[in-house]
Amino acid sequence: MSFYYSVASGSSGNCAVWQSGETSVLIDLGVSVRALNQALHRIDMEIPNLSAVLLTHEHTDHIKGLATFVKKYELPVYATFGTGAAILQKLPQAKKNFRLFAGGETFFVDGLRVQSMPISHDAAEPVAYRIDGGGHQLGYVTDTGFLSDEVQQTICGCDTVVLESNHDVDMLRHGPYPFYLQQRIRGKLGHLSNEACADGALKAVKNGAKRLVLAHLSDKNNNPLAALRCTQRALRGADCEVYVAPRGAMEQPIPLTEEGAPCCMFG
């Protein structure tokens, strides 16, 4: 079965499983290995069933479990040169697992073709991913201050798109964060608002997305209903399933039922 399964999503931790055809990969490792094992257990998986871990960037909410992981497992961990260097400063023992690449490069992990895309975030060399293989296509874009044309074109034709819907602009403005932090979050190197997500979601759906997962919601400056409503309003009843990734592990995976429609009408 092919599926997307969110293990954790939000500022306290991010981690997801993508299984397409015979190959499964983990995207980010922002939970403890114990929590990862528990979540995988729910979907009858174990860490050795995974082919690799793909990291987006070095922020703690994306690599929290990495130190324990590299101690226990030999699985390859893909990261950009910049992300790898930032992590190795604090965690040199990760070197044996690392497969480093330049942001923008494409590589293969078993049955999957993985295309990385540079994004705009206050990290060393952050990336988003497009993963093709097994009859499905995933676009995975979180932790970016804006959606560039390059990213939107690259995820064109993906049947499943995970998009950051980090904050509601008004909740951020009136919320508990100090001004400098608000500036960081809504800046070019910060995070996507619900509105920016909705805009990207509409383009993704016009370009073939059948499933959208809203991800990396702030617990202080957003709530699932506000994020969902904002994107659904933009989609105006388009034929697309919309999910909100919970902070903890999903009850069950999102099955990839239909073959993706590889149409591309970007614009």
Between 125 and 143, name the residue whose CB sits nearer to Zn ion: 143
Q: What whole-number distance in Å separates Cα of residue 31 and Cα of residue 29?
A: 6
Interaction pattern, residues 2-41, with Zn ion; x per rule: CB under 5 A: ----------------------------------------
Comparing every residue's Cβ against Zn ion, the nearest one is 59
Q: Binding Zn ion by CB under 5 A: which of 61, 125, 164, 168?
A: 61
> Which is closer to Zn ion, CB of 61 or CB of 168?
61
Using alpha carbons, list the distances in angstroms from residue 113 to 16, 131, 157, 261.
17, 6, 15, 17
Closest CA to 56 of 145, 181, 142: 142
State the nearest-atom distance from the C-beta of 143 to Zn ion, in Å.
Answer: 4
Among residues 143, 159, 164, 199, which is the contact residue for Zn ion, using CB under 5 A? 143
205 contact partners, CB below 8 Å, separation of at least 6: 212, 235, 238, 240
Q: To the nearest whole angstrom, how small is the minimum distance from the Cβ of residue 192 to Zn ion?
A: 11
121 contacts 145 by C-beta, under 8 angstroms? yes
Q: Tell me if 132 sits within 8 A of 154, measured CB to CB.
A: no
Which listed residue (43, 59, 80, 94) binds Zn ion by CB under 5 A? 59
How many residues touch Zn ion under the rule CB under 5 A: the total is: 3
Task: From 116, 112, 44, select the one nearest 79 (Cα to Cα).
Answer: 116
Does 191 help bind Zn ion (rule: CB under 5 A)? no
Q: Considering the complex, state which of residue 59 and residue 167 has its C-beta at the smaller distance from Zn ion.
A: 59
CA neighbor of 120 nearest in space, from 62, 189, 197, 199? 189
Nearer to Zn ion, 27 or 138 (CB): 27
Nearer to Zn ion by Cβ, of 61 and 132: the residue is: 61
3 state DSSP class of 135: coil
Residues binding Zn ion (CB under 5 A)? 59, 61, 143
